Chains A and B, each alone.
Chain A
Amino acid sequence: MNATSLAVRAHGLRKSYGAVAAVRGIDFEIAPGEVFALLGPNGAGKTTTVEILEGYRHRDGGEVSVLGTDPQHANRAWRARIGIVLQLAADAPELTVFEMVDHFAGFYPRPRRAAEVIDMVGLTGKARSRIHALSGGQLRRLDVALGLVGDPELLFLDEPTTGFDPAARRAFWEVIRALSCGGVTVLLTTHYLDEAAALADRVAVISDGVIVAEDHPADLGGRATAEAVVSWQDRDGRRSERTAEPTRVVVGLAARYGGEVPGLTVTRPTLEDVYLELIGGRP
């Protein structure tokens, strides 16, 4: 796939703040319609990378193409094709949710209707409320509505579900899945591994300014082929065996017990285990 048919392409991306190198040579590509997650601890370079792609920051080196354009030279027509959901913006406290979303719709050539976007993020009951009366989770959903109202081809979501309760997070995931089914490309940064696993087609783990792993969430860090631990309940207590061939071990156990194996579990490293290993045990 060449650079112009990709939604996002970053090659050798570098950015320093003074003497501190925040991003030290990052490469990745996102195909149209893909949901791509950037995972990493605070200060790893996630936000810097995303803000360069959004056109907020200038890079020091490397090549970047977003929807076929260098974001450093972005114009209004390009901005009309992307949607940005910032981290924690709570402005215009005296306006209502509807006024705010409807106002932002006016910036775009082909906006979605405000009422529809408000419904998508589950704020219909709050449409006539002043923004200062919203809870933290509701504010976040308003942020998402403002990112969606221009009907973007590419959506940037910077830690979108921070502050959501579990039910709201699930509901939000459904919104993102629906957008993805509609062909929207999504670049997501998140702290939540389950969120990356639930939403992303591919995950890149960024640590100390470089990408240390990039794969399908189920395969990240060799998870799919890593040694599994087979564990079961013996007369003397819990027994476990580390093996590259868990199926063979289980079949052997089944033969030994003549059917059901008491307390049988087969586990591979969780996404969290792999992630913590990749970022060097740092939280």
Chain B
Amino acid sequence: MTAASTRVSIAALPPQAPLPGVWQTGLARGRIELKAFFRERQAVVFILAMPAVMLVLLGAIFGKEQTGPGVTIGDLYVAGLIGGGVMATSYQNLGMSIAIERERLTLKRLRGTPMPPAAYFTGKIIQVIVAAIAEVVVLLAIGAAFYHLRLPASLTAWLTFAWVFVLGVAACSLLGIAASSLPRSAARNGIAVIVLPFMVLQFISGVYVPFFLVPPWMRDIASVFPLEWMCRGMRSVFVPRAVAMEPGHSWQHGQTALVLSAWVVAGLVLCLTTFRWQNRRDR
């Protein structure tokens, strides 16, 4: 170790150098979050690759089966797994990673620096949006390559995709941030507390099982949560002909927007009231 000091060079700087801005720091957080995320094989496999593997698997087993006029089960899986994949890259990703960061004292250390708290969340948003877009691209590529998925040509369909994606990512990210505070230990019960409810939702919301096959009482439960509405929105974009198999024979876009927006508000309130930079035990 050498004990070099830069006192001399620092003394030459103005004494009241401005603090780095929120946006600048947030972008730096986003860069470092993306680096860490894509280098962590565990996260990439469980969050990014899982829906792709499920699509290949479920599609290969059930995919060719015709379920309606011009609709195969493979088509429904592409749309459903896009919904599930968006929730994995937002809810599950943030829920687990923030719980782990809290446990590893990453959050405590950041809180002890002049980093603006908003920059931390900006970084997370950037990471989630990039991962979610990557997920959608991978799933669409698999759908196009193996299940004759045709991308919608109309601008209206892509606008629908955009608002379902944005509202879905926002609602699920906020829920993930809130859920990160639930497990007492990320390592020991993070999977049970954060991932298990998401697995259940994926079965009843039209991700792993086509929604029209789910018993009505389970559909009613699923309709309380955002995932069902995200999957429904994605089906309306990528499998528009499946409308005949939808409950009420309609896409119910108005209700989709309403439920997702309500979850954004609820998630935000939950985050603002429950977010902690340190573990409960660490007080």
Given contacts A57-B283, A89-B105, whether A79 and B112 have CB atoms under 8 Å apart is yes
A108 interface residue per 8 A CB criterion: yes
Contacts of B7 in A (CB 8 A): 182-183
Contacts of A172 in B (CB 8 A): 1
B18 touches A109 (CB 8 A): yes
Given contacts A86-B112, A119-B2, whether A99 and B35 have CB atoms under 8 Å apart is yes
Given contacts A109-B19, A121-B1, A177-B3, whether A103 and B32 have CB atoms under 8 Å apart is yes
Residue in A55, A79, A90, A110 whose CB lies within 8 Å of B104: A90
Contacts of B283 in A (CB 8 A): 17, 57
User: What's the count of A-B pairs with C-beta under 8 Å?
Assistant: 111
B200 interface residue per 8 A CB criterion: no
Contacts of B32 in A (CB 8 A): 92, 95, 99, 103
Secondary structure type dominating chain A contacts: loop
Residue of A with least CB distance to B104:
A91
Contacts of B101 in A (CB 8 A): 91
A92 to B36, CA, bound (A): 7
B145 interface residue per 8 A CB criterion: no
B113 touches A86 (CB 8 A): no
Chain A interface size band reads: 35 or more
Interface core residue of B10, B40, B111, B113 (most chain A CB under 10 Å): B113
B106 → chain A closest CB, angstroms: 4
Interface size on B, residues (CB 8 A): 35
B36 touches A112 (CB 8 A): no
A window 88-132: CB within 8 A of B: 88-95, 99, 103-104, 106-110, 112-113, 116, 119-122
A window 24-62: CB within 8 A of B: 54-57
A interface list, Cβ under 8 A from B? 17, 54-57, 76-77, 79-80, 82, 84, 86, 88-95, 99, 103-104, 106-110, 112-113, 116, 119-122, 146, 150-151, 171-172, 174-175, 177-179, 181-183
| A and B contact pairs by CB, cutoff 8 A, 21 listed | A76-B114, A84-B113, A86-B109, A88-B105, A89-B106, A94-B36, A103-B28, A106-B20, A108-B19, A108-B20, A110-B10, A113-B6, A116-B6, A119-B1, A120-B1, A122-B2, A174-B1, A175-B1, A175-B3, A182-B5, A182-B7
